[in-house]
Amino acid sequence: MTNHTVTSTFAQRLPKTENMFIPFIMSGDPTPELTIELAYTLQESGADVLELGVPYSDPLADGPTIQQAAARAIEQGMTIQKAIQLIPEMRKRGVHIPIVLFTYCNPVLQYGMETLVKELKKNEADGLLVPDIPLEESEELKQHAEAHGIQLISLVAPNSEERIKRIAEQASGFLYCVSSLGVTGERAEMDPNISSFLEKVKHYSSVPVAVGFGISTNDQVQLMHNYSDGVIVGSKIIKIIEGEQSALLKEDTRDEGLKRVKEQITQLINY
Amino acid sequence: MSVTYPDAKGRFGDFGGKFVPETLMAPLQEIEAYLTEALQDEEFIAAFQHELKTYGGRPTAFTYANQLTESLGGAQIYLKREDLNHTGAHKLNNAIGQALLAKRMGKTKIIAETGAGQHGVASATVAAKLGLECKVFMGEKDIERQELNVFRMKLLGAEVIPVSSGSKTLKDATNEAIRHWVAHCDDEYYLIGSVVGPHPYPEMVRNFQRVIGDETKTQFDDVKGGLPNRIYACVGGGSNAIGMFYPFLGTGVELVGIEAAGRGIQSPEHAATLTKGTPGIIHGSMTYLLQDEFGQITEPYSISAGLDYPGIGPEHAYLHASKQVRYESITDDEALEAIKTLSRTEGIIPAIESAHAVAQAIKEAETMDPSETIVINVSGRGDKDMSTIMEYFEGSDGLD
Ligand SMILES: Cc1ncc(COP(=O)(O)O)c(C=O)c1O
């Protein structure tokens, strides 16, 4: 690790480094206020890290569920700046787990790399995940992130092969393992070779290793806990929220809606 | 001047690169490895040239536009006739090259994106010829607009996959093709249609299209001697333009790329990426694109489906920034007027895309000296556009 001019809060805020649950939500879907409430509900349901999505017009790594959530959020006027501004509100609401901003590269470039990491720090975020900046293109962003105490989360995939070592060795925060080739979205079955892939990743990684893409059932969660330090769940969370959307949007049924979100998530991650 | 771009990272100066999810890095590296090896293999090069000649119809003609030249009274105008390629456009050159590479890699299926359907048709054609399965991703809006080409692709045995995400046009068809490819790259090859996308696509497509410029150089030298003063080509993603320009870089020939100004670059409805766009990432590449202040990609507009793209190949972004190529833009109206002019003076009906180059050349030729020479790349023929052209001129009544 290089000398930090600003210390990272990621490790301090992280409740545990085993059996982690890392949910993804889309900022502004269905509304900015509910994003804050949902963040709190997820923490109360057992989340260890929150992945906060910035909606993007052309999300190359995402399947239909997250694409549609992004489209709804853009429709609501959500932007990268507004998403960052939700974070202090979440902290006020009692969210104390690490928050990682998930955004595609183009909004980062328009915002400015250094401005972004400064703003993240100022607004009490802990990490940044940019799915379309592979290792080879990440140097500049990584330097800015390190200088401002923001953990840049790396991704590694089953076909990364000899890149696994290089990616894992420089990983910070946690290492995001893509479960199988393809885009985000629920999958009926997990890749049968996943255990050997994860074993290899764990061998080289000095940070916790979490698996994501397609995890949508309790069986899959349990299976992944055997091989990794945690699970990342995106599309399934979006679906659960979608299912409760009408309850969430009405003042008098909101609490019940949030309660049912919590129940479904508890069932999903229970082991 | 020696042109050494792209560098090892796939960069043309500040542009290009590989801004893709980790899952795509392996398939891109696989293509790069096979491509490097293929381009050093004389047999591969010979097979490519053989198909270009015996199947595609190359070399394409080089025509002196005597009546157009005389009517304008300025520079002498020559036409590079990519409209005479099999399937009617330069797109075939690239489709042949990449499909041969796909076969060499042991892939049995190709996938492609298409807007107007020209690249889809070229891919379906080559797939049929080489015995590959073919899937073409096409936005639902474009499927409606380009019924004829959809049928052509199906007739050729390809599967056309409607894309309903985003704005349901070329940009989204490209997204969907990439998303599909990530999950199926073990037996599928993604045959991209222009000099766009992550490295090594922009360089590869340039290499398969540079035959346009190489032939032009020889043909011009044969009929006139030396080099022309200026060369014009339209720019969508930029493949016909790079193919034409690349062999002329650093020779002193003035190169002019023409973007689509749609209803005017002062209106929001245009596809003038270099004229009006800003740097950013689209489809895995750092380049110029049309976007809002928060980095959301915005919808372009042009009457020409082949130019209706919010990005541009990264090498063009570099050639623009380094001022090696001059980029201009032409409106729908100017392009349609040029179709009429070229049809009536030379008996050649160009594609609406190509007509953008014709229109700019006409503007400038008038102001040039009769001793000067220009070449226009006629990237495709207008048959595919007949219903759009008819609609524009409101049946034959509006023609005169
Ligand atoms: C005839 C013709 N010219 C030009 C283009 C634009 O593509 P590019 O800029 O890659 O040559 C197209 C695309 O469909 C086309 O069909």
pLDDT, one tens digit per residue, over B208-222 is 999 999 999 999 999
The letter for the amino acid at B116 is: A
Residue B2 has pLDDT above 80, yes or no: no
Q: Which residues of B are catalytic?
A: 91, 113, 379
Give me ligand 1 centre to Cα B214, in Å.
19
Does the beta carbon of B388 sit less than 6 angstroms from any atom of ligand 1? Answer: no
CA distances from B355 to A29, B240, B269 (A): 45, 13, 18
Indicate yes or no: CB of A107 within 8 angstroms of CB of B294.
Answer: yes
Q: Are strands B373-378 and B326-331 parallel, antiparallel or unpaired?
A: unpaired
Ligand 1 centroid–CA B272 distance in Å is: 14
Q: Which CATH number fits domain B57-88+210-395: 3.10.20.90, 3.40.50.150, 3.40.50.1000, 3.40.50.1100?
A: 3.40.50.1100
Instruction: Judge if the upstream peptide bond of residue A98 is cis by omega within 30 degrees of 0.
Output: no
CA dihedral of residues A176, B14, B313, B98 (deg, nearest 10):
-60
pLDDT at A5: 61
Is the confidence at residue B398, as pLDDT, over 80?
Answer: no
How far B120 CA lies from chain A's nearest CA (Å)?
21
> For residue A183, how far is its CA from the centre of ligand 1 (angstroms)?
29
User: Which residues are paired to B279 by β-bridges?
Assistant: B288
Q: Given CB atoms, is B281 within the 8 Å cutoff of chain A?
A: yes
Amino acid B164: pLDDT: 94
Name the CATH topology of B12-53+91-201.
Rossmann fold (3.40.50)
B287-337 pLDDT, tens per residue?
Answer: 999 999 999 999 999 999 899 999 999 999 999 999 999 999 999 999 999
CB contact under 8 A, A60 and B280: no
Query: Has residue A3 got a pLDDT over 50?
Result: no
Q: Mean per-residue pLDDT for A46-52?
A: 98
Does the pLDDT at position A226 exceed 90?
yes
Q: Is B30 helix (H, G, I), strand (E, B) or coil?
A: helix
**Which residues of A are identified as catalytic?**
51, 62
Tokens standing for residue B77: 């105008």
Looking up tokens 């840049």 gives: A152
Which chain A residues touch B18 with a CB distance below 8 Å?
134, 136-137
Nearest Cα of chain A lies from the Cα of B286 at a distance, in angstroms, of 9
Asked if A106 and B291 come within 8 Å (Cβ–Cβ), the reply is: yes
> Are A181 and B183 inside 8 Å of each other by CB?
yes
- Cα(B345) to ligand 1 centroid in Å equals 23
Percent of chain B topping pLDDT 70: 99
Answer yes or no: is the C-beta of B98 below 6 A from any ligand 1 atom.
no
In chain B, which residue's Cα lies nearest the Cα of A179? Answer: B23
Read off the pLDDT band of A188 (50, 70, 90): confident
A4: pLDDT strictly greater than 50? no
Asked if residue A190 has pLDDT above 90, the reply is no
pLDDT-based confidence at B1, cuts 50/70/90? Answer: very low
Asked if residue B252 has pLDDT above 50, the reply is yes
For chains A and B, count residue pairs whose Cβ atoms are closer than 8 Å: 115
- CB of B89 shorter than 6 A to ligand 1: yes
Residues 6+ positions from B36 with CB-CB distance below 8 Å: none
User: Touching check for B14 and chain A: CB below 8 Å?
Assistant: no
Break chain B into its structural domains and give their ranges.
Answer: 12-53+91-201, 57-88+210-395
d(CA A163, CA B182): 17
**Pocket flag, ligand 1, residue B380 (CB < 6 Å):** yes
* Spatial CA neighbour of B253 closest among B181, B332, B334, B324: B324
Q: Which residue of A has its CA nearest to B17?
A: A137
- Closest C-alpha to ligand 1, atom 10: B239
Tell me what the mean pLDDT of segment A176-196 comes to: 89
In this complex, the residue of B26, B175, B293 whose CB is nearest that of residue A60 is B175
- Give the Cα separation of B238 and B247 in Å (integer): 15
Q: Which chain A residue shows the shortest CA-CA distance from B22?
A: A134
Determine the angle formed by the axes of helices B332-346 and B352-365, rounding to 10 degrees: 80
Distance from the CA of B13 to the center of ligand 1, in angstroms?
24
Q: Whose CA is nearest to atom 1 of ligand 1?
A: B380
CB contact under 8 A, A137 and B17: yes
Contacts of A80 in chain B (CB under 8 A): 294-295
What's the one-letter identity of residue A237? I
CA of B353 to the centre of ligand 1 (A): 6
B194 in contact with ligand 1, CB cutoff 6 A:
yes
Q: Check if the beta carbon of residue B344 is closer than 8 Å to that of residue B49.
A: no
Per-residue pLDDT of B28-87, as tens digits, reads 999 999 999 999 999 999 999 999 999 999 999 999 999 999 999 999 999 999 999 999
E strands of B264-358, at which residues? 278-282, 285-289, 326-331
B118 touches ligand 1 (CB under 6 Å): yes
Q: How far is A253 from chain B (nearest CA, A)?
A: 32
Query: What percent of chain A is modeled with pLDDT above 90?
Result: 93
| Helices A113-122 + A80-93 axis angle, to 10 | 20
Residue B396: its pLDDT value, please?
A: 67
Asked if B12 contacts B315 with a C-beta cutoff of 8 angstroms, the reply is yes
Amino acid at A84: I
3-state class of B373 per DSSP? Answer: strand
B394 — pLDDT class (breaks 50, 70, 90)? confident
More confident residue, B398 or B136: B136
Look at ligand 1, atom 12, and give the residue with the nearest C-alpha. Answer: B306
Domain residue spans of chain A: 23-269
Q: What is the mean pLDDT of chain B?
A: 96
Out of B19, B23, B165, the one facing A105 most closely (by C-beta) is B19
CB contact under 8 A, B22 and A178: yes
Instruction: Give SS3 for A62.
Output: coil
- Assess whether the region B12-53+91-201 and the region B57-88+210-395 belong to the same CATH fold: yes
Q: Is the pLDDT of residue A45 over 60?
A: yes
Give φ, ψ of A31 to 5 degrees. -145, 160
Question: B89-117 pLDDT, tens per residue?
Answer: 999 999 999 999 999 999 999 999 999 89
* Segment (H or E) for B142: helix B140-145
Please tell me if residue B390 touches chain A, with a CB cutoff of 8 Å.
no
Mean pLDDT confidence for A27-50: 98
Ligand 1 atom at shortest distance from the alpha carbon of B305: 14
- Which chain B residue is nearest to residue A182, measuring alpha carbons? B183
CB B98 within 8 A of CB B130: no
How far apart are the CA of B22 and the nearest CA of chain A, in angstroms?
6
Whether residue B25 and residue A134 make contact (CB cut-off 8 A), yes or no, is yes
Domain A23-269 top-level CATH class:
alpha beta
Confidence category of residue B3, pLDDT binned at 50, 70, 90:
low
CA distances from B390 to B263, B334, B344, B396, B399 (A): 18, 16, 16, 7, 9
* Residue B83 CB less than 6 A away from ligand 1: no
User: Whose CA is closest to atom 4 on ligand 1?
Assistant: B353
